[in-house]
Structure 1
């Protein structure tokens, strides 16, 4: 349609008229499940018996309570304005990172005692082993900082910032395999289809930057793809789709389908979006579908992101000392180190929730070699992010989280030697750490037995971790709900207690 046609012509085409027809009698009878029968039985029974309340009471209790729920947020004064979650996909071994178990040295090669295992579930990869020989870490540990926190020699950079960390050694989960375990940590349920943590945060708290999404995801290109990642891990589930995580990638198209098509200069982009919004609005008026509103908002956000994304992705103005801080990989877009640096830039722009995924921690065999590579790839940049946020005055109101979906077993899977062994999945106790806004710095919380097989003090379930994260953002995890298929859902389902002992 040419530019000289006026608005009057544009909005009175047959297509527009059809959309603007709203709900006529034929559509009403077609779309109403019970049609006239519902109206007839209503007149016989009366409104109170049919709907359970008088018409007045029903009008005072609308079906959609979401706006009332959101108006109450934040429920308490937030300590954290934003979150960066460093997800180590595959399950880092606590034995080679933070949970020091020196007694295992004298027990090397011995079978895991039945009194410790207590008949607990094994994966199919270990269930057929005739023995479960225990193995100590190949790597040495030392205490660091004023806190005296034990850290493996594989993490010399993290060791420098331990006085800023709250190391939690008693995280536990029921999920023993990767897909349900990572889905559980990210969505609060082992089955797919629920909203991710970042989506709940976006839904509840919205955005502090109208030119960037509230929830952004970065996936390392230099993490070995031992276990797959799925977009549903940062999906919106049953929440409106504008709350899904937006993945930023390396390369010329950091956000897919954001740039204008080839051969299109974009001169009339704004005008096109305005008319598209009006078209969507015409469709929305008769049907009231919230996804139409979402689509309008997403087109508008995409238009603003065409300017904001290239700006935030450009790191060429960062001084050399910043690249030196994060390590040589930080100059290579898409690596874990570069993503840590990019995360800091996004946090500076007040993006509410930034999630980094780094794959490659699933060390069933040749663990000493594999975990050494993983730590070398991630250690410096992780510590640099803490130091960078702190020196910019941002750590006080930014929550940093590090961890995977479960830990590893004390016994070796497959062949065993002092310098070559593997460890299977172990969800009953594993280590994560938190740092920054509202979290006590320089402490270790929770204890495991001498085999890091069972928790002996201060267990922290995955739902407890999720409840605590939401609390730091000012959200009561029991009150932030969304009604779907007749039931009110929340991130923590019907579980979760705030871990008050780790809070300032």
Structure 2
């Protein structure tokens, strides 16, 4: 018979074991999913607002004071000496209030402005790098100093994919030499982004209205599917033998998994990228038949198709927004190329009841200075700029944070890039402090030792 001391001791331990089992059950479930298929859906840390992300990456740094950060005092003080030298330059574009929310948006984006009540403007962004390469790398990976996994790779690692025959992370027409921005780094290679389309966002060779011949066919012309399977099984047996002999061979693991995914992709990928089945109305809505919007329109339409098919993270690149001169003309041209397709994407997702659980993110690596450069141009500005989100659990028709009266730097509710990452992961049901991967003797995470969730923007 147990005495009172023994009873209390065993009961207390039991409570501890109960708590421990609760903490480990999710981890065990995640581990089981990974061991079976590294891309299989995994449980989130807590209920998610969004199931997937579409990141509209504006390469080159669009000017916040000419797009989504209205600064009336910049117009008042046009031509005066700027805070850090140079002459203040008023925006050549008109700003107006839109929607029931009254968000201020410039006339560069008349189509996007029609969706003002879906937008959550973040007008207090900051990052650490004033140069393109560093800022772009930090925007994607959290750091500019080391090669780290990208935001998309972390998202796929944390949640898996909902379609085993497609990559879980797709980068549409990324810029040249940008592999680290959609790479997996030390995460298993299967979580890296799959590049689709030509670099630089130009010359998309798929998905025309009557361009069946331009849809890439990755199926073998020499072997039947059964023959391919037999050939692949033999190659995989060699790879697994190598893996068994080596204690740690993430490269071999990545090859095994990528070969299997590629085998499955050859049936589904060509069909996914063939836009010939889309209605004329849809193609027109995205601007596919207009030379000015056709390229980015195809990419946005493909993003919707991939999202609908269960791809977890889709990135679409547009640029170049780096206007040190000719800002009026070139910002106008860049906006014309993406405004209608972005609005169509938002409308299409909403019509399909997908916007509520699809997080659409728009932004560049930094903003631009209020002071003029080379007459009609602006320099880089990493101290204050704007991005926006829509759907996926954020407040629509909402403005968060602020820059100073001229737009030089964030002064209210500052949202550093680490906070931005933490917030995106949170909306996906992932705790940025718990989403870690052990490498080289330490636990790494996207936000390193930083990051706070911008809870005010969450609906």
Band the TM-score falls in, shorter-chain normalisation: 0.7 to 0.9
SS of match in other structure, 1:474: coil
Match of 1:441 among 379, 396, 413: 396
Distance of 1:369 and 1:479 partners within structure 2: 46
Match of 1:214 among 168, 172, 183: 168
Residue in 1 aligned with 2:458?
A: 503
Offset from partner CA, 1:379-404 (integer Å, 9 cap, x none): 00001101100010001111000000
Q: What is the rounded CA distance, in whole Å, between the counterparts of 1:321 and 1:469 in structure 2? A: 32
5 Å-filtered alignment, 1:87-486, equals 87-113=57-83, 117=84, 131-219=85-173, 229-249=177-197, 250-251=204-205, 258-260=218-220, 268-288=227-247, 289-329=249-289, 335-414=295-374, 416=375, 421-486=376-441
Kindly provide the CA deviation profile for residues 367-418 of structure 1, in whole angstroms up to 9, marking residues without a partner as x. Answer: 000000000000000011011000100011110000000000010112x2xx
Cα distance, 1:256 vs structure 2: 9.1
Superposition pairs for residues 50-65 of structure 1, below 5 Å?
none
Q: Is the 8 A contact 1:207 1:352 kept in 2?
A: yes
Q: How many residues align?
A: 411
**2:54 maps to which of 80, 84, 87:** 84
- 1:410, 1:82 → 2: CA distance? 35
Q: Counterpart of 2:134 in 1: which secondary structure?
A: helix
Is the 1:186–1:233 contact (alpha carbons within 8 Å) kept by the matching residues of 2? yes
CA displacement 1:303-347 (0-9 Å, x = unmatched): 111111101001111111101211145799981110000000000
CA distance in 1, matches of 2:79, 2:71: 15
- Counterpart of 1:277 in 2: which secondary structure? helix
Matches within 5 A, 1:36-75: 70-71=30-31, 73-75=43-45
After TM superposition, the structure 1 stretch with the greater mean CA deviation from structure 2, 346-355 or 449-458, is 449-458
Contact 1:214 1:353 in 2 (8 A): yes
Shift of 1:286: 2.3
CA deviation profile, 1:159-214 (whole Å, cap 9, x unmatched): 10010010110011111000000000100001241000011111111111000011
SS at match of 1:311: helix
| Corresponding residue SS for 1:268 | helix
- 8 A Cα contact 1:336 1:378, kept in partner: yes
Counterparts of 1:266 and 1:444, CA distance in 2? 53
Provide the secondary structure at the position in 2 that maps to 1:95.
helix
Cα RMSD (Å) of the superposition? 2.3
Residues 408-446 of structure 1, C-alpha deviations (whole Å, 9 max, x = no match) = 0010112x2xxxx10000001100000111101111111
- How far apart are residue 96 of structure 1 and its match? 1.2
Q: Distance in 2 between matches of 1:276 and 1:391?
A: 45
Instruction: Report the 3-state secondary structure (helix = DSSP H, G, I; strand = E; otherwise coil) of the residue aligned with 1:142.
Output: strand
Structure 2 gap segments, 5+ residues each:
1-25, 32-41, 198-203, 207-212
Q: Given that residues 91 and 407 in structure 1 are in contact (C-alpha distance below 8 angstroms), is that contact kept between their aligned partners in structure 2?
A: yes
Q: TM-score, normalised by structure 2?
A: 0.85
1:109-140 Cα distance to aligned partner (Å, 9 max, x none): 11113xxx4xxxxxxxxxxxxx4111000111
Gap change, CA 1:267 and 1:76, over 3 Å in 2: closer
- Match of 2:62, SS state, is coil
The CA distance in 2 between the partners of 1:290 and 1:69, in whole Å, is 22
Question: Based on CA coordinates, which of the two structures has the bigger radius of gyration?
Answer: 1
TM-score (norm 1): 0.78
Q: How far off is 1:255 after superposition?
A: 10
Q: Which residue of 2 aligns with 1:122?
A: none
8 Å CA contact 1:408–1:423 kept in 2: the answer is yes
Distance 1:178 1:342 in 2: 27
Measured against aligned partners, the alpha-carbon deviations of 1:450-479 in whole angstroms (never above 9, x if no partner) come to 110122311111000100100111110001
In structure 2, how many angstroms separate the alpha carbons of the residues matched to 1:331 and 1:96?
Answer: 24
Q: Is the 8 A contact 2:190 2:258 kept in 1?
A: yes
Larger displacement relative to structure 2 (286-295 or 445-454): 286-295
2-side partners of 1:193 and 1:449: how far apart? 33
